[in-house]
Amino acid sequence: MSPFNPVSESDLAYFRSLLPGRVFSGADISTDYDHDEMTEYGHFLPEAVLQAQTAEEIQAVLKYCNERRIPVTPRGAGTGLCGGCVALHGGIVLSTEKMKKVLEVDTRNMTATVEPGVLLMEFPKALEGTGLFYPPDPGEKTATMGGNAMTNAGGMRAVRYGVTRDYILGMEVALADGSLITLGGKTVKTSSGYSLIDLMIGSEGTLGFLTKLTVKLVPEPKVNLSLLMPFDDLDQCISAVPPVLACGCDPTAVEFMEREVISCAETYLGKQFPDTSADAYLLVRLDGPSAEALQPAIDTLTDLALSLGAKDVLLADTDERKESIWNARGAFLEAIKNSTSTMDECDVVVPRDLIPAFVRQTVETGRRAGVRIRSFGHAGDGNLHIYVCRDGLPEGEWKQKVSAVMEELYEAARGMGGQVSGEHGIGHAKKPFLRESVGDRQMALMQGIKAAFDPNGILNPGKIVG
Ligand SMILES: Cc1cc2nc3c(=O)[nH]c(=O)nc-3n(C[C@H](O)[C@H](O)[C@H](O)COP(=O)(O)OP(=O)(O)OC[C@H]3O[C@@H](n4cnc5c(N)ncnc54)[C@H](O)[C@@H]3O)c2cc1C
């Protein structure tokens, strides 16, 4: 029997009194809310969608739902890739799409405070003219900053700058019982008891509802440029990653890409990639105070890449050239999705020196299973995005093959000391692999933490540990 209650007419009436014009139920709910970007993981229409505008509204909704045992699924922009923001057990989806204010940019403390629904692509406008920037750079710019915080999103610039977690200084969070807590603030360090803020980051809406976020900003680098290194084969290309990272040039991003994936992006975007000479490419971005200051790093990386088998090193220092390369890179996921009927994703992270071994494993697994696998990824931080494409496979055969492939890939990652998810999270789709990876003892600890924050289990049930 479900531990939860359905949403009744009187519940809806209460929600409508609280959030007039921002409560949707039945046929008025857009099907956009029944999935995230991975439709392969199913469609789950909530019983109601509520669009909050203030922390007080969120507190009131949570208090009410907690007392009546109604599940609450927090949702940002729904760009997640593991089914994190879907209402697996019905109840309400509580959306932050109307909480889009940048509340403060504090240039003296180099911080900004935002509402959770601010989109990643909108935030830079608020920083214009300050000389400051926010380094986290996940590929999907229509994601919310709240969603980024709650999945600990990574992205391209993580090699040099780190991930979202490294930029979160403070959070205001509504707990399941409706109380509001403030974690951290504008201070840049703390040694003050258990780090609840670190527990909250990446908790995918299972421990609390983020209502306000304070992030760290850093001085904006004046110049950036990219080096595109074509290699004859993928193995040679990926094997160049550890020496590139160790050569002292402090790259901002190190991405790898294969010809087949680039071709998908060319078709998807209708634009030509600037080079067609190779099967595999390493893309390295450098940030610095001036082009002159970056010249020694360009020279070092060029010599190194050529000595490691690169056919050439192409410098992208004009906006046009940079855009044509990075736009293609940014479109990979959508382009692969567009090239097949459906697909499943594996977002493991392995120690960086084992990337070549893991990529080899991927190729071998796909070949043996007889499925098309496409991969690309943040080679510089060991995080690979691997897509198993269904193409024309019948349902039964697809289910059986994709499950065998996933088992094999996660097992291989585990054997290499890797983790289930580098940045996309666990949601409900990756739960079995998390358990296999961390084991019963750690799962029990996580369940204990969940119970301490949310004793009735109303917050995003069915995710991570639920
Ligand atoms: C093309 C593409 C490229 C991508 N590239 C990257 C990438 O490079 N790096 C990366 O890390 N991810 C990437 N992603 C995945 C996705 O964009 C991130 O996971 C992102 O952080 C999700 O943000 P969102 O606002 O869409 O959150 P949603 O998908 O709406 O929610 C994600 C999770 O956070 C929870 N949540 C959202 N808001 C709140 C809140 N206010 N309080 C509590 N919980 C909340 C939800 O319940 C859910 O569990 C990509 C996705 C796509 C489609």
Express each pLDDT in 227-248 by its tens digit: 999 999 888 999 999 999 999 9
By most ligand atoms within 8 Å of CB, the mutation choice from 93, 210, 424 for ligand 1 is 424
Domain borders along the chain are 9-97, 102-219, 223-333, 340-415
Q: CA-CA distance, 209 to 454, in Å (whole number)?
A: 11
Q: How far is the CA of 426 from the centre of ligand 1 (A)?
A: 11
Contacts of 308 (CB under 8 A, 6+ apart): 236, 239, 240, 243
Thinking of the domain 340-415, which architecture would CATH place it in?
2-Layer Sandwich (3.30)
Pocket test for ligand 1, best of 140, 203, 206, 387 (most atoms within 8 A of CB): 140
Tell me the C-alpha to C-alpha distance, in Å, between residue 239 and each of 97, 157, 158.
42, 20, 20
Low-confidence ranges of the chain (pLDDT < 50): none
What is the model's pLDDT at position 276?
A: 87
pLDDT tens column, 17-39: 999 999 999 999 999 999 999 99
What CATH topology corresponds to 102-219?
Answer: 3.30.465
Q: What pLDDT is stored for residue 466 in this prediction? A: 84
- CATH dotted code for 9-97: 3.30.43.10
pTM for this predicted structure: 0.96
Q: What pLDDT, on the 0 to 100 scale, is given for residue 277?
A: 87
The response to whether residue 139 sits with its C-beta less than 6 Å from ligand 1 reads yes
Topology match between the domains 223-333 and 340-415: yes
Residue 204 sits at φ, ψ, to 5 deg, of 55, 40
Interatomic CA distance for residues 116 and 201, integer angstroms = 13
Residue in 50, 63, 53, 45 with CA at minimum distance from that of residue 94: 50
CB 287 within 8 A of CB 223: yes
Instruction: Domain 223-333: state its class.
Output: alpha beta
The pLDDT of residue 25: 98
Question: Do residues 299 and 305 make contact, with C-beta atoms less than 8 angstroms apart?
Answer: no
Does the beta carbon of 153 sit less than 6 angstroms from any atom of ligand 1?
yes
Q: What is the pLDDT of residue 149?
A: 98
Name the 3-class secondary structure at 131. Answer: coil
Q: Is 422 in the pocket of ligand 1 (CB under 6 A)?
A: no
- Cβ count near 61 (within 10 Å): 24
